[in-house]
Amino acid sequence: ATNTTATKVLAAGDAALIAAAELIAQGQPVAVPTETVYGLAADATNPEAVARIYAAKDRPAFNPLIVHVADLAAAERLAHFDKTALLLAERFWPGPLTLVVPKRADAPVAGIATAGLDTIAIRVPAHPVMRALLAACNRPLAAPSANASGSISPTTAAHVFASLGGRIALVIDGGACKAGLESTIVRSGDRGIAILRPGPVTREMLAQATGLDVALAYESPAAAISAPGQLASHYAPRKPLTFDEVDPPADAYVIGFGAAEGDFNLSASGDLVEAAARLFDALHAADASDRLRIAVAPIPDKGVGRAINDRLRRAAV
Ligand code: TXA
Ligand code: MG
């Protein structure tokens, strides 16, 4: 992509919403806050609009996008929901859960959005600004995280501007994202449910809601096939990173947790949800520092800590 577009940043509100809806109607992508991370949203029914998302991000074309809709009824126009998928949708939507479900043959979604797969990843977001945009546009919006491909997901408008400034027309500034971590992606089908990407909705929450065993597909090599976008390097900062560091090297930018202080403590009180919300901020700060490498203190591998460790494993590649 070329860096020739003047990028406006508008505070969330009526004027920003009208400008965003107009751009989306013209087939342009717009950066918008969600409860997880900022998304780069475009009309999912318009293949050129979706292509502009890939272009702005320099995203590998085989990486399918999440399609956002206003409610379950809109989701059911795009895909088939079996009993389990319905249960998950009713329990966790609107919210940070993405369901990978069989796509309807006549779904009004551009093939480029799903990268030609016969499944589709769908989410009903909870953030009021993203919900207002969905209502204003009255159509499904494809929205990956609003960052250049392979870099860290943005949790503030400033992160978006730093990564995509000059490449997109508009960023709606809705403040910092609450979860600060991308949605949990779950595949629901005849073979049960499996987490393709861990996130704010944890395995424990999914198991409790369904009474089913929840497979952790992202831990097996086969996950590379079922979630083609889960590239090993997807979350990489620009500097070498090591994690689970009890005794971090003196020259590293240290990301701490709990009593292990560091240059940036994810949560002094050892709260994993707070740590998740601050993770990408910490990685951005580490990237911006004058230190040549990054070391992260051990994070407990439970609850949303598993999602944090998954991101760190990818960041370490
Ligand atoms: O929280 C989020 O989910 C954010 C906000 C903006 O909603 N979006 C986000 O999108 O993280 P993105 O494009 O960065 O991540 C989409 C992930 C990719 O890993 C992709 O491979 C996977 O979803 N995906 C999309 N469609 C899929 C499908 N049909 N089957 C399996 N994985 C799929
Ligand atoms: Mg992303």
Domain ranges of the chain: 8-179, 241-315
74/237: higher pLDDT: 74
Strand partners, 192: 189
The pLDDT of residue 316: 84
% of the chain surpassing 90 pLDDT: 67
Which residues neighbour 307 within 8 Å (Cβ) at sequence distance 6 or greater?
A: 181, 184, 197, 198, 199, 200, 202, 276
Ligand 2 centroid distance, CA of 310 (Å):
14
Ligand 2 centroid distance, CA of 235 (Å):
7
3 band by pLDDT with thresholds 50, 70 and 90: low
With 60 as the cut, is the pLDDT of residue 233 above it?
no
With 60 as the cut, is the pLDDT of residue 261 above it?
yes
Is position 104 annotated in a ligand binding site? no
62 band by pLDDT with thresholds 50, 70 and 90: low
222 band by pLDDT with thresholds 50, 70 and 90: low
- pLDDT (average), residues 259-269: 95
CB 188 within 8 A of CB 84: yes
Q: Tell which atom from ligand 1 comes closest to the C-alpha of 36.
A: 1
Query: Architecture of domain 8-179 in CATH?
Result: Alpha-Beta Complex (3.90)
Residue to substitute in 185, 280, 304 for testing ligand 1 pocket (most ligand atoms within 8 angstroms of CB)? 185
Residue 154 is classified by DSSP as P
176/223: higher pLDDT: 176
Ligand 2 centroid distance, CA of 250 (Å):
31
The mean-pLDDT minimum among 43-47, 246-250, 312-316 falls in 312-316
Tokens read off for 54: 């890939």
231 band by pLDDT with thresholds 50, 70 and 90: very low
Is position 151 annotated in a ligand binding site? no
Which residues neighbour 210 within 8 Å (Cβ) at sequence distance 6 or greater?
A: 84, 87, 88, 193
Ligand 1 centroid distance, CA of 67 (Å):
8
- pLDDT (average), residues 94-107: 96
- Cα torsion through 163, 165, 171, 174, rounded to 10: 50
Alpha helix segments (H runs only) across 58-175: 72-76, 83-92, 128-137, 157-164
What are 104-158's pLDDT values in tens digits? 989 999 887 887 788 999 999 999 999 999 999 999 999 999 999 888 899 999 9
Burial 45-61 (b: 16+ CB within 10 A, else e): bbeebbbbbbebbebee
The pLDDT of residue 258: 96
- pLDDT (average), residues 181-190: 90
* Ligand 1 near 117 CB (within 6 A): yes
Which helix (H) or strand (E) segment holds residue 123: the answer is: strand 119-123
1 band by pLDDT with thresholds 50, 70 and 90: very low
Ligand closest to the CA atom of residue 151: 2
Ligand 1, atom 19: nearest CA belongs to which residue? 229
* Ligand 1 near 64 CB (within 6 A): yes
Is position 5 annotated in a ligand binding site? no
The Cα 267–Cα 47 span in angstroms is: 42
ipTM score for this prediction: 0.98
Domains 8-179 and 241-315 agree in fold:
no
Q: Which residues surround ligand 2, an ion (CB under 5 A)?
A: 145
Q: Which CATH number fits domain 241-315: 3.40.640.10, 3.40.50.11030, 3.40.50.200, 3.30.70.20?
A: 3.40.50.11030
19/271: higher pLDDT: 19
What are 273-288's pLDDT values in tens digits? 788 778 877 988 999 9
* Ligand 1 near 94 CB (within 6 A): no
The pLDDT of residue 26: 96
With 80 as the cut, is the pLDDT of residue 260 above it?
yes
28 to 51, 143, 195: CA distances (angstroms): 10, 12, 32
Ligand 1, atom 15: nearest CA belongs to which residue? 144
Residue to substitute in 40, 117, 155, 182 for testing ligand 1 pocket (most ligand atoms within 8 angstroms of CB)? 182
Closest by Cα among 146, 144, 142, 181 to 163: 146
The predicted model scores a pTM of 0.83
The pLDDT of residue 273: 78
* Ligand 1 near 120 CB (within 6 A): yes
Query: How many CA atoms lie less than 13 Å away from 207 in the CB half-sphere?
Result: 8
Is position 167 annotated in a ligand binding site? no
Mean pLDDT across the chain, nearest whole number? 89
Q: Tell which atom from ligand 1 comes closest to the C-alpha of 125.
A: 7
